[in-house]
Each structure stands twice: as C-alpha cells, then as structure tokens.
Amino acid sequence: MNDLVLAAEGASADHTALAPLIIALPLASAFFLMLFGKRIDRLAGVIASGAIGGAFLASIITFGSVVAAGHEAAESHRFFDWITVGDFSVGFDLLVDQLSAVMLLVVTGVGTLIHVYSIGYMHGDARYSRFFAYLNLFVAFMLILVLAENLLLLFVGWEGVGLCSYLLIGFWFEKPSAADAAKKAFIVNRVGDFSFLLGIFLLVATVGSLSMVAINAEAGAMSAGVATAIALLLFGGATGKSAQIPLYVWLPDAMAGPTPVSALIHAATMVTAGVYMVARLSPVFEASGEVALLVVGVVGAATALWAAVMASFEYDIKKVLAYSTISQLGYMFLAQGAHAYSAGIFHLVTHAFFKALMFLGAGAVMHALAGEVDMRKMGGLRKAMPITGTTFLMGCLAISGIIPFAGFFSKDALLAAAWADGRYVLWAVGVLTAFLTAFYMFRLYFRVFEGPLKVPEGVHVHDVPPTMAAALIPLGILSVVGGVINLPGVLTLEHFLEPVVGEAQVPEGAIAWVLGGLAFVAGALGIALARAVYLSRASSLRRRKAYSRAPGLVDAARDKFYIDRIYGYGIVAPGKALSSYLANVFDPRYVDGIVTGTGRLVARASENLRGIQTGYVRNYALVFLSGAVVILVIQLVRVGL
Amino acid sequence: MNLEVVIFGVMFVVALGCSLAMLFAPNAVHVALFLVGAQMALALAFLLQGAFFVAAIQIIVYAGAIMVLFLFVIMLLGIDLRESLIEPLTGQRGVALGLGAVLAVGLVFVGVQGADLAAGGGDGAAALTELNQGPGNVKALARALFSRYLLPFEVTSILLVVAMVGVMVLARRISAVENDRRAGVPAAEEEAA
Amino acid sequence: MSVAPGFYLVLAGLMFAIGVVGVLVRRNAIVIFMFVELMLNAVNLIFVTFARQQGTVDGQVLVFFVLVVAAAEVVVGLGIISLIFRYRVSSNVDEINLLKR
Amino acid sequence: MEDLPVLDLVIFAPLAGILLLAFIPKERLDALRYVTLGVTLVTFVISLGVLGQFDPSAQEQFQLGSSLQWIPEWGIGYITGIDGVSLWMVMLTTFLMPLGVLASWSVTKRAKPYFIFFLALETGLLGVFVALDMFLFYLFWEASLVPMYFLIGMWGYGRRIYAAMKFFLFTLVGSLLMLVAIVYLYFQAPGGPTFSYVELLDTPLTLDVQRLLFLGFFASFAVKVPLVPLHTWLPDAHTEAPTAGSVLLAGVLLKLGAYGLIRFAIPLFPDAARDLAPIIVGLSIVGIIYGALIATMQRDLKRLVAYSSVAHLGFVTLGIFVGSVQGMSGGILQMVSHGLSSGALFMLVGALYDRRHSRQIADFGGLAKTVPVFAGIFLLVALSSLGLPGLSGFVGEFLILLGTFFTYRWWVVPAAFGVVLAAIYLLWSYQRVFHGEVTNEANRSLPDLNPRELAMLAPIVALIVFIGVYPKPFLERIEPSAQRVVDTFNRSTVRPETASVQGGGK
C-alpha cells in the first residue's frame, strides 16, 4: 500500500495541495456564519456563495492539473493522523484523481449555482444566515466524502452530509412534517450506515487498512465470498444514502425541506454518494464474481421502475421530482451492476444538471405560487414565467432522453452497457422506465406549464428574480449540451475515468445505433402518452376511463403502495411496543423487582419481627433477663450441676 | 447458738422480709421505707463480716442520703402514686416471676457452693480480723483506696462531676421558645429561613 | 463459730432475684429505680462477703465504688424521671414507648 | 518542578479547599461558590501539570506516583501512580469538577455543606483513580460513595431519599463482596500478606479461586458501571440527583466501575476474566440494546439520558472484554467521551429545569425557536452521543466495534445496531423538545443560555469536537496501557488443569 501511495506521490507533485483549501473554504464559512451570521444577516448569502465559488475555482485548477497529469494523476496525501491504535491506522488522507476531480467540479459547480439561487429563494427567511451556514457545512462534508482517501474519512463525509441533510430538511422545524421527515431521513440513513459500518469492519479484518488504494489493490486477492460480503454490506449503506429499495422511503418525505436543499442534496450531490462509492471501490465489486454486481444491478433496475411508477401517480411536484431522482439513481446502479461505472458517473453528472434545474424550477414555481406544490391547482404557467418554463422544459427533455439533450447520451450509455453485459432483462426494465420517465415528467410539465392558466386564488404570478435566474439559465444550458462531455465514439469522460474505474464494455457497430434509437423512441412514446392523457382535449375523459379499469391499483399507487404503512406496522410499531413493554413493565417490574423485591422481603420480615418490639421498656428488660438466665443456666450446667 | 448466728438469723429474716414487702407494696413511699429497712439489715450483715466503715456509710449515705433523695422526688412528683395491681402486659408478670425463680434457684445454688468453698479453706476471716485490729478498718480501706485504687477513685470523682453537671442541665428551666422547639415544631422557623 | 459465707451469698442471691422481679413487674419508674438499688445492695453484700473470705479489704473498696456509682445514677436517673414527669405527668414506664412509634 | 509530587497534590488539593471553605460563613453564598470554583480550577491546573509530566513512551507501568508506608504491620501503604488509563480519568474528573461547580449555581440552600461534599467527592474520586494499594483503593472507593449519597439525598429532587438509598445500597452490597475478595487476596500474596497492587499482580491462583474472586470484584464494578441487570439504581439516582450530581455521576462515577475492571479485575485474575468474558460481552450487548430501547420510551429527559448511559457504558464494557487493543483503547476513550457528552446533556437538562421546573418531554416543543443556542449545543452533544463521525463519540464507538469484530465477529451486528437505536431515541426526543411549534405558552419567553452556562458548556463542546477530529494525543497515551492490559488478558497462563486439581485437593 505504501508503495502505491509513494508511486502516486512521485508521479506529480501538487494536485492535493489545493484539496484542503477546497474543503476548508466552505467549512470556515459555515463556522463563521454559525457564530456571527445573525449580525451580518443579508451578507450571509454572499459570503457563503463566495466561499463555494472559491472552492469551485480551486476545483477547476485541481481538475486542470489532473487533466494535465494524464493517466497517472492519482495522488494522495496524509494531512494528519486521525485514529491510530495498534496496527490499525487512518488519517486525514485526501486523494485526488480523475474521479474525485469530476465529482469536485459537480459538487462545487452545482453547489455554487444553488447557493446563488438561494440568495433569492431564501430572501426574508428568519434564519437566513443559518441556512447558508448549513448549506456550506453540507458542501464541506460532501467534499470530504469525495476527496477521502480512506473509507473511514469517507464515512465522516457520508455521515456529515447525512447530518446536514437532517438539519436542512428540518430547517423549517416548526412544521411537524418537516421535523418528522428530517428524523426519518437520518434514521433510515443510519440503518444503511449500520450496514456500511459492518462492511468497513470486514474490510479492516480482510485488508488491514481502509485506504482506497490499498483496498483496490488487494481486492483481486480477496476470496469471492468475502468480496461479495463486503460489497453487499457497503452497498447496503448506498441503498440508504442513495435512496434505493428498501431504504428509499425517506427521500420523498425529505421534500419538506427548502427547495434549494432538495436540489443540492436530494438530487445533485448527496444522494449520488452511493454511486460514487461503488465506482470508487469498483475493484471490490468486481472481485465478488457476479453476485454483488447482479444485486446492485437488480436493485437499481427495480428501484428505477418502482419509483417511476410512483412518480406517475404523485400530485406534489416536488415529490414527483423526488421519485424521479430515486428512479434515476436506480439507473446509475443498473449501469454499475453491468460493470459500466463510468456510465454511472456520467449519468450522475448529467442528472445533477437537469435534476437540479428542475428542482430549482419547481422552487421557482412554488416561490411564485406562495408555496403551492399540488400540480392540480396549477396550469399554463409558461406564459407567466417564461424563464422558468423554458428551462424546465429543457430539463424534462433531457431526462426523457430526447436527442440531443444531455440525458439522452448518458441514458443511452448505461442502457447500452446493460445490453453489452448481457443483462437483457435489466435493459428491458431500463427501457420501460425510460418510457415511464418521459411520461411522468411531461405529465408534470403539461399540467403545470401548459394548457390554460390556472393558479391558486389571490396569487400574483411573477417570474424569477435575477439571482434565481442566474442559476436556472446555466443549468438549462448544461442540460442541453451536457452530453458533449461523453459523446459516443469520442467517450471523453469514460476515457478520462478509465485509470480509476477501468474500461467499460461498449456495444459496437449497428447495435449501438439500434439501442440508442429504442431508448429515444421509448422517451418519445412516453411524451406522446402524457400529451394524450393530460394535454389533449379528451384528456380528462381518458383519465377517468383508465381509472375505472383498475381503481384499486391507482389508489394503491397513490398511497405509495402502502410501503410507509407496511414499514410503520411491520417495524416501527412492534419496535415501539417492545420498547414500551421493556420501559414500562419489564424494567420496573421484573429487573428492578428482583432488586427491590429483596429489599421488600427484608422489610416484610422486619415488619413481622417488629411485633416483638412492643416499645415497653419492661418487656425489653424481660427479654434481657431471660438471656441472662439462660447464660447462667448454661454456666451451671457446664460446671456440672 | 452463739450471738452471731442469732443476729444473722434476725438480719436474714428482716432483709428478705423487707425485700419481699417491697414487691407487694403498692405505694411508692412504702416501697422506699421497706428498702430502707432492707438496707439497715444489710448494714448489720456488713458489721457481722467485719466491714465496719462500709456498714457505716451504708446507713449514712445509702439509707440516709440517697433514700431521702428518693423520698424527696416521690413527694415532689406527688405522693399519691399508687400503682394499680393489674398488669397490662400479658404474660409479663408470670414470665418475670418464673424467670426470677429460676434466677433465684441458680444464685442460691451458687451460694451453697460458696458455703462448700468456705469449708474447703481460704476463709480469711482471721486475717480480716487481724487487719481490722492492726491498722484498723478505716485505715486499711483508705490505704487501699489511695494507693492501689487511686485511678478508679479519681475516675469516680470525674463521674460524680459529670453526673452533677448532667443533672443541672436536665433540671434547667427551659424558656418557652426553646420548649416549643424541643417539643417538635422546629420546621417552622427553619422553613422560613 | 461464725456464719459460713454461703448463707450470706444465699441471702444476696435471693435479694438480687427479688430486685430483678421487682424491676420487671412494677411500673412506677421511681419504684423500679428502688429495686435497682436493692439489686446493687445485694451485690454489695456479696462483695463484703468475699472480702471477708479473702481476708482483704479490696471487696469493701469495691462496695465503696458501687456506692458512688449508685449515687451518681440516682441523681441523674431521678433527674430524668422528674423531667419526663414534667412533660408527661406520669412516671409510668409503660407510657414511655416512643421507641415503638 | 520535576520533584514536585503533582499527583498527590491533585488528590489533596480539594481537601485543602474544604479547610478553606470551613472558614467561610455559610451565609456568604458567592464566596462559597467562587472559592469552590477556584479550588477546582487550581486542581485542574495542577492536573494539567500531571498531564505535562506524563511520559507516553515510558517503560514502567506507573508514573508520577509515590510510595509511603502507612500501616506496615498490615502491609498497607500509601501507594499511588498513574498510567494511560487513570491519567485520563483523573483529567476527566478535574475537568468536569469546575464545570460541576458552575452547574451548582442554583444550589442556594445549605450551600456550604454542599460544596464541602462536592470537594470531598473530588478527592474520593481522584483517590480511586490513582491508588495502587488495595486498602487505599477501597478506602477511596467507599469515601467517594458517601458524599454522593448526601448530594443526592439532601439536594436532589422528588424521591431523592429513595434514590439515594437505592444508590447507596446497590453500590455498598457490591463493594462488600469486593472487600471479601480483597481480604482473601491479601492473604494469598506471594511475598506475604500485602495490599500492594503491584505485588499482588503475580499472585498464583487456581482458576476456581480466580473465578470466585473475580466475581467478587466484578459484583462491585458491574453495579457501578452499571451492567444490565444491575442498572436499576442508575435512572433513579440520575433523575433525582441535583444537576451537578448527575453530571458527576454520569461523568465520573460510572467510570469507576469500568476503571476498576481494567485496573483490577482483569490484571489480577486474567484467566477468570478470559473465562467469563463471553458472558460479560453478552451482557454488554444486551445492555446496549436494552438501554437504548428503554431510553426510547422515556418521558423524562433525565431518565432518557440515564438509560442512554446504560447503553453507552455497555459499549465500554464490551470494548474492555473483547480482548483486543482497539476495543480496550476505544473503551477507555469512550469513557472520556461519554463523560463529556452525558455530562453536558445533564447540564443542559438541568439548565432547562432551572428555567421551567420540568423535565418532562411533553412539557416542551418548539424550543429551537425560542432558545436557538441552547438547541444547537444540545444537538451537537446529542450527535456526539449517537456517534457521529467527527465528534468524540464516534472514535470510541468505532474502535470498540472494530475491536469486537476482530474477536467476536458476529456479536458486532447487534452491538452496531445499538448505534441505530441511539439515533432513534436521541433524535426523537430532540424533535419532541425542540422542533414543532411552541405549544406551551410558558416556553415562549424562555431565556437562552446565559454566560455562566455557556462557560460551563463551551469547554465540553470544544473538547468533544477536538477529540472527534484529533484523538491522537489521547490515543497515544492510552494505547500502551491498554496494550498491557490486553496482553495480560490474552496471556494464557494455562495452569488451570493441574492447578485446579491440586487446589481441589487442598
């Protein structure tokens, strides 16, 4: 392991130089705002955005030096020891390579835009500076996660972003739903982290180190069984953070937080941590034979489809986007399950663009409609909000996989990878999901932005203020052209990432065109269906008809297929009952009972014996005398009466 | 039948009779008087055994001073202190008498053994008589008291001082406030503070 | 011939037993006290008897000490009794049963 | 400076403080407070000298100690010394004491005896941690019990007498068994009867005897820790004790038990310890889960923190008995970090009680709006308590679980699940107290933390973050001592076969 690190250090000198600065900028800003935020008030947004912007600039420089270093760009550096006991040692080790460089750009880039957007969005909030402090803190932790050279430091970032997510979801904690959602998010993530932690232990026991470089170097030497166990345990953590089945339930609820938070944390960055982690440790997943990867792929595909179905029945615009995020994350895992790690990262990047865009667009709508989220109460907003409507449309087209928007290329890349790997069923699920994705996105778009103007009463609709537009427009452009970073044939991103995640299989020749065409057709069909059901003249009739065919199914879907209730009755309620029994009956009555019972036994015995104690002095004297007499008699007998 | 035996007999009867009478006299004053009687008889016994000084202080201090003190308190607390003869504690009287009887038998047995002991030798009556004639009873006592028993003697003096102080504390006139405090209403002022 | 010490001891034993019974049977604190005195007297008799038997005055010295202790005891004891009487207007020991409560 | 017996100074500085307090009239409340604060601060400063003089790489086991004859006829000496374990326990005690004084500002009734007991408690606790003579140890052990009894019994809340009695009886019964074991050991010493710890270390004992003696010690320590079936005194004592009492109870007193296990129970009877370790590990894990489950359902904040202590101390005993250096070091670090976090939680709950005279969760809600700083610190401490990486709780828990994984692979699963449960009970109660709208009008005008309260919480918060980010100074001092104990634990003296037959024959 040391050799590898040394080799990496020898290759080039200084791209880790800026790494601590990248983390420190938002972190320092966060602490500053937490301590003095109240005094500077309005300035908080500017400071926070500036800090992230600085981190973004530093990231660009780092990225540049990584690009310049070419293939052997990986470099790590230990800044200080963290936990060292016995032969176990981890430190504050940062790693900069192609993968982390890409992630740096995404996190700080999208982060900067969203910070700028928040200046307008959060304007007038009572805890304005606090919001930016949390947001900065989040970015700092996310950067730690991305730059970590060892799994434990990654875990610091992993839990840290979870904490910030908790704080930001619960930002408006006066709303019980927000407080509930925050708690739920943290706890569900903890369940995932529990699995992740077990994976870390197994890794320490197997490899003896948590260094990424060492783990990946030794992954080949692991037995398939151990590698599978490690991979699955780590993936268990990813299902929590990246909201996959069965731990996805927290993400829709998390929409109770402010919308920029949903965009930054629950679409662009934090939820992709699982995808990043799998890519980062791809050799371990590869070493497991096919088992772990198959699980990853199947869970990803199942989640993609499942969440897409849910999204199709949801009326809350933010929740539609939340389910969409879950579904898209499923896509990424689907690709990774087919060895296509770089395709997963590619989709991660493009998804960050268009999903952040759509969340921010949804935020703009809510901003304009006084917080209204129910799409049934909206309509025809594109004319009133041209910037929002247009950029939102870009996002919808991108996610639906329409040529030449960003989503087409990334979605095509991962579906092709699934096909190339021989996972035809998963590919089919992916195509079906692509169809559904287009359907529900345009269902949302048509209902909200097209058709006759419909707004809640007493609301004056206005388009976004400049700071918010400043975030929407760049993201809109990126959604359109984001695909160029990985054009088929040129495959820049995949080549760039090869030193880290290995070479992906790509279908060759005509089949590639056929697959791409099919994905495009699926998307187009979805849009057409959405138009037929939601925008055309007979739309309401068709909807009623569809409902009458399978009312039960629709109702079930609208109730999230009872998943929350099943979790509630199956896990939460028994747990509560058990705890309550232990706390109110078992502990006081039995455990404490044994102890106080001993005491009570003594007390009762004393109570009975107390009868002897009459309180009359003469009685005591009598007893005293009898004792004396007994002694006398004994003495006499002993002397020999 | 020499004189000593006669006197002993009389003494024995008087002492035992007075003691028994104490048991049955309901009036405290009567009890005190019978006790004086018993003590007088014992003084006689002391004389018979050559303890002249002790016999003297038995009468002067015991039968005199101490018993007067008793009578004084009885009078002070009210002369009419008759006890009812009904025993309120069940079994107390019977058991007490039974145990007393056993005790008496045991002690008498030991006394009889003591008689044998006397027969077996070690009767120092002659030596004591000599002592009483040599330096004299009082002188002999004083010599023992102020030499070998000097320390206990001094300790008893301390005891007497302590007793005196103790009684003065007990008998002190207590002010009304303090009286309340002692009677168990202390919380009031502390709570206020 | 002088009376054998055994007879004195018998007398002392009987008086002591009477004293014990008296303490147990009587209820007037002052009376009880007097029985205690009786017991002390019985013991004194024993001391004197043994002193003669041993041919020394040591036993008589002890009587002297007993006397002092008895005097101290009487002084304090009667003090306590009169104090109790002041509070409870009774010298019946059966009414002094605070221990029970 | 080198020759100054700093360690002994630390122990007896509070006693000197008591003398000082004796001359202050009881009406002068402020003087009493500030003098006590000054004394505890001076003690802390002296203990910093101990920290400075402690040499982490020293060869000998105990440092900075002194050894005087006391009652040589009975082999009793005044022997003191510290290693990496007791060093941090001493530091923790001296660190928490001034903060405890700050938390005692609300004590206005009978303040003089309060502060005297307080200082007496400090001497007792410090004495336990540095004593290397069994007799001296026992003396301090019991001596620390008495002031705590009075602190709970006289200055506590509600059912304080009940709680104090329970606390006293539990610990007393346990320590009597230990006394019996100590006396037996005393006569078994290889070089003639002695109470000297170092000499007793090599006492040859058969496994059966070891087991009995171990159980004797264990009874005493397990009650103090407390290990699960013996924990019921703890919620009552914690709940009814005054704030500073709870702080010290959780912060330091519970550590006495764990410390005793590390210092005495394992090194004196390694075979028995190894033999019984699976049972203790099992009980610890039960404690982790059980404490956490019960904490979930508590309605009283103090009780909740108390049960969370049961869970956290389960981690500590788990780490101690898994027999790996990671577990042991983690256990010791966890002791420190639990001392900080639960101490801070009790201070916070105490501060809340001072404001509202209630500790019922149901009486609160929405406090994050009225007292934001308070809520923020509470959250940070709670997060440390639930083991968030980057805060002190994580380092200890991680090392414990890692150590457990090395030796008891599967057992780590339920133990690690305790971490999930910790998140549930802490965040749920946090939500009920701080989130939501302000429902109770009385909560609307609560004042936020005042400077005094900030002064007592800020050092803890700083230390929590420091240990979480840079635990190295702690770990590098703990590790050699932990390694020594683990070596003893794992050293198979394999004598039991023949020896126990001989022992049986006798």
CATH value at residue B57: 1.20.120.1200
- Distance in Å, alpha carbon of A611 to nearest chain B alpha carbon: 14
- Distance in Å, alpha carbon of C69 to nearest chain A alpha carbon: 21
Task: Tell me, yes or no, whether B74 lies in a domain.
Answer: yes
Single-letter amino acid, residue D411:
W
Contact (Cβ atoms closer than 8 angstroms) between residue A140 and residue A155 = no
Q: Which residue of A has its CA nearest to C19?
A: A625
User: How far out from the chain centre does Cα D236 lie?
Assistant: 17
Q: Which residue of B has its CA nearest to A635?
A: B106
- Peptide bond just before D372 cis, omega within 30 deg: no
Per-residue pLDDT at D291 exceeds 80:
yes
Q: Which residue of C has its CA nearest to A619?
A: C24
Is A615's CB within 8 Å of C23's CB?
Answer: no
How far CA D293 is from CA of A585, D286, D362, in Å, comes to 13, 10, 19
Task: Tell me, yes or no, whether B124 lies in a domain.
Answer: no
The 3-state DSSP composition of chain D as helix, strand, coil percent (nearest 5) reads: 75, 5, 20
Per-residue pLDDT at D501 exceeds 60:
no
Contact (Cβ atoms closer than 8 angstroms) between residue A100 and residue A18 = no
Which of D40, D25, D35 has the alpha carbon at shortest distance from D119?
D40
Judged by a CB distance cut-off of 8 A, whether residue A80 touches chain C is no
- Under the banding of pLDDT at 50, 70 and 90, the label for residue A469 is confident
Give residue D492's pLDDT.
Answer: 59
Single-letter amino acid, residue A208:
G
Contact (Cβ atoms closer than 8 angstroms) between residue A414 and residue A335 = yes
Give residue A3's pLDDT.
Answer: 43
Residue A503 DSSP code: P
CATH value at residue C72: 1.10.287.3510
Contact (Cβ atoms closer than 8 angstroms) between residue A261 and residue A171 = yes
Helix axes of D84-102 and D451-469: crossing angle, nearest 10 degrees: 160
Is B66's CB within 8 Å of C45's CB?
Answer: no
- Under the banding of pLDDT at 50, 70 and 90, the label for residue D283 is very high
Per-residue pLDDT at B187 exceeds 50:
no
Q: Among the listed ranges D76-85, D384-393, D489-498, which one has the minimum average pLDDT value?
A: D489-498
Average pLDDT, chain A: 85
Judged by a CB distance cut-off of 8 A, whether residue A124 touches chain C is no
Both tokens of B133, joined, read 């004639």
Give residue D502's pLDDT.
Answer: 36
Contact (Cβ atoms closer than 8 angstroms) between residue A258 and residue A171 = yes
Give residue D45's pLDDT.
Answer: 92
Per-residue pLDDT at A158 exceeds 50:
yes
Contact (Cβ atoms closer than 8 angstroms) between residue B54 and residue B132 = no
Is A190's CB within 8 Å of D420's CB?
Answer: yes
Tens digit of each residue's pLDDT (9 = 90 or more) over A80-118: 888 888 888 888 888 888 888 999 999 999 999 999 999
Contact (Cβ atoms closer than 8 angstroms) between residue A202 and residue A158 = no
Per-residue pLDDT at D331 exceeds 90:
yes
- Under the banding of pLDDT at 50, 70 and 90, the label for residue D238 is confident
Contact (Cβ atoms closer than 8 angstroms) between residue A417 and residue A536 = no
Q: How far apart are CA A229 and CA A244, in angstroms?
A: 18
Backbone angles phi, psi at D133, to 5 degrees: -125, 130
Strand partners, A211: A150
Q: Which long-range contacts (CB under 8 A, 24 or more apart) does B171-177 make?
A: B171/C79, B171/C82, B171/C83
Which residues span the domain enclosing B17?
1-82
Give residue A560's pLDDT.
Answer: 73
The number of distinct structural domains making up chain C is 1
Query: Considering chain D, what percentage of its residues have pLDDT values greater than 90?
Result: 28
Q: How far apart are CA A56 and CA A23, in angstroms?
A: 11
How far CA D475 is from CA of D305, D338, D470, D480, in Å, comes to 26, 15, 9, 9
Both tokens of C44, joined, read 């004194």
Give residue B176's pLDDT.
Answer: 55
Contact (Cβ atoms closer than 8 angstroms) between residue D130 and residue D90 = yes
Mean pLDDT of the region A129-152: 91
Q: Which of A620, A632, A637, A639 to mutate to test the interface with B (most CBs of B within 10 A)?
A: A632
Q: Which residues of B touch C51 (CB under 8 A)?
A: 49, 51, 128
Q: Which of B97, B107, B139 to mutate to test the interface with C (most CBs of C within 10 A)?
A: B107
Task: Tell me, yes or no, whether C67 lies in a domain.
Answer: yes
Give residue D206's pLDDT.
Answer: 85
Task: Tell me, yes or no, whether B140 lies in a domain.
Answer: no
D near C: at least 3 beta-carbon pairs less than 8 Å apart: no
- Under the banding of pLDDT at 50, 70 and 90, the label for residue A376 is confident
Q: Among the listed ranges A70-79, A253-262, B138-147, D497-506, which one has the minimum average pLDDT value?
A: D497-506
Q: How far apart are CA D323 and CA D372, in angstroms?
A: 43
Mean pLDDT of the region A237-258: 89
More confident residue, D496 or A70: A70
C window 32-91, beta carbon within 8 A of B: 33-35, 37-38, 41, 44-45, 48-49, 51-58, 60-61, 63-65, 67-76, 78-83, 85, 91
Mean pLDDT of the region A203-209: 87
Give residue B184's pLDDT.
Answer: 54
Task: Tell me, yes or no, whether B172 lies in a domain.
Answer: yes
Per-residue pLDDT at A177 exceeds 60:
yes
Q: Which of A34, A85, A180 to mutate to test the interface with D (most CBs of D within 10 A)?
A: A85
- Distance in Å, alpha carbon of C51 to nearest chain A alpha carbon: 23
Task: Tell me, yes or no, whether B130 lies in a domain.
Answer: no
Is A618's CB within 8 Å of C93's CB?
Answer: yes
Give residue B80's pLDDT.
Answer: 59
Burial D100-112 (b: 16+ CB within 10 A, else e): bbbbbbebeeebb
- Under the banding of pLDDT at 50, 70 and 90, the label for residue A11 is very low
The answer for residues whose C-beta is within 8 angstroms of residue D343's C-beta and 6 or more apart is: D96, D99, D247, D248, D250, D251, D460
Is A86's CB within 8 Å of D479's CB?
Answer: yes
Query: Considering chain B, what percentage of its residues have pLDDT values greater than 90?
Result: 15
Strand partners, D360: D300
Number of neighbours of residue A358 by Cβ within 10 angstroms: 32
Q: Which residue of A has its CA nearest to B92?
A: A619
Facing C24 at nearest CB: one of A613, A614, A618 = A618
Mean pLDDT of the region D253-263: 91
- Distance in Å, alpha carbon of A591 to nearest chain D alpha carbon: 6
Q: Which of A612, A616, A622, A626 to mutate to test the interface with C (most CBs of C within 10 A)?
A: A616
Residue C4 DSSP code: P
Mean pLDDT of the region B4-25: 90
Give residue B120's pLDDT.
Answer: 43
Tens digit of each residue's pLDDT (9 = 90 or more) over A521-551: 888 898 888 888 887 777 777 777 777 777 7
Q: How far apart are CA A583 and CA A573, in angstroms?
A: 15
Beta-strand runs (E) in D453-494: none
User: How far out from the chain centre does Cα D299 lie?
Assistant: 25
- Distance in Å, alpha carbon of D122 to nearest chain A alpha carbon: 29
Alpha-helix runs per DSSP H in D297-371: 301-321, 325-356, 367-370
C near A: at least 3 beta-carbon pairs less than 8 Å apart: yes
The answer for residues whose C-beta is within 8 angstroms of residue A228's C-beta and 6 or more apart is: A288, A289, A291, A292
Is C96's CB within 8 Å of A618's CB?
Answer: no
Task: Tell me, yes or no, whether B17 lies in a domain.
Answer: yes
Interface size A-D, in CB pairs within 8 Å, comes to 143
The answer for residues whose C-beta is within 8 angstroms of residue D321's C-beta and 6 or more apart is: D261, D273, D277, D280, D281, D284, D327
Give residue A9's pLDDT.
Answer: 45
Give residue D499's pLDDT.
Answer: 36
Facing A615 at nearest CB: one of C23, C24, C100 = C100
Per-residue pLDDT at A490 exceeds 70:
no
The answer for residues whose C-beta is within 8 angstroms of residue D488's C-beta and 6 or more apart is: D266, D267, D270
Backbone angles phi, psi at D299, to 5 degrees: -105, -15
Task: Tell me, yes or no, whether C68 lies in a domain.
Answer: yes
Both tokens of A78, joined, read 């230990």
Interface size B-C, in CB pairs within 8 Å, comes to 252
Contact (Cβ atoms closer than 8 angstroms) between residue A375 and residue A392 = no
Tens digit of each residue's pLDDT (9 = 90 or more) over D422-459: 999 999 999 988 888 888 777 788 888 888 889 889 99
Q: Which residues of C touch B117 (CB under 8 A)?
A: 5-6, 53
Q: How far apart are CA D464 and CA D393, in angstroms?
A: 8
Give residue D56's pLDDT.
Answer: 82
Per-residue pLDDT at A5 exceeds 60:
no
Per-residue pLDDT at D332 exceeds 70:
yes
Give residue D497's pLDDT.
Answer: 39
Q: Which residues of A touch D434 (CB under 8 A)?
A: 173
Both tokens of B83, joined, read 């006890």
Model's pTM, two decimal places? 0.79
Tens digit of each residue's pLDDT (9 = 90 or more) over A329-359: 998 999 888 888 888 888 999 999 989 999 9
Task: Tell me, yes or no, whether C40 lies in a domain.
Answer: yes
Which residues span the domain enclosing C34?
27-91
Q: How far apart are CA A469 and CA A436, in angstroms?
A: 29
- Distance in Å, alpha carbon of A126 to nearest chain D alpha carbon: 10
Helix axes of A224-241 and A176-207: crossing angle, nearest 10 degrees: 160
Of the three residues B54, B82, B110, the one that is the final residue of a domain is: B82
Residue A508 DSSP code: -
Tens digit of each residue's pLDDT (9 = 90 or more) over B88-138: 777 788 888 898 999 899 888 887 776 555 554 456 777 777 787 888 888
The number of distinct structural domains making up chain B is 2
Tens digit of each residue's pLDDT (9 = 90 or more) over A12-57: 447 778 888 889 999 999 999 888 877 887 788 889 999 999 999 9
- Under the banding of pLDDT at 50, 70 and 90, the label for residue A291 is confident
Q: How far apart are CA A295 and CA A288, in angstroms?
A: 11
Q: What is the DSSP string of D203-266?
A: ----HHHHHHHHHHHHHHHHHHTT-GGG-THHHHHHHHS-HHHHHHIIIIIHHHHHHHIIIIIH
Q: Which residues of C touch B8 (CB under 8 A)?
A: 3, 7
Contact (Cβ atoms closer than 8 angstroms) between residue D331 and residue D315 = yes
Per-residue pLDDT at D101 exceeds 50:
yes
Per-residue pLDDT at B185 exceeds 60:
no
Mean pLDDT of the region D238-267: 89
- Under the banding of pLDDT at 50, 70 and 90, the label for residue C51 is confident
Strand partners, D80: D131
Q: Among the listed ranges A22-26, A298-302, A600-604, D316-320, which one has the minimum average pLDDT value?
A: A600-604
Is A622's CB within 8 Å of C20's CB?
Answer: no
Tens digit of each residue's pLDDT (9 = 90 or more) over B59-87: 998 888 888 888 888 888 775 556 666 66
Task: Tell me, yes or no, whether B100 lies in a domain.
Answer: no
What ipTM was predicted for this assembly? 0.71
Of the three residues B28, B56, B82, the one that is the final residue of a domain is: B82
Contact (Cβ atoms closer than 8 angstroms) between residue D334 and residue D326 = no
Residue B175 DSSP code: P
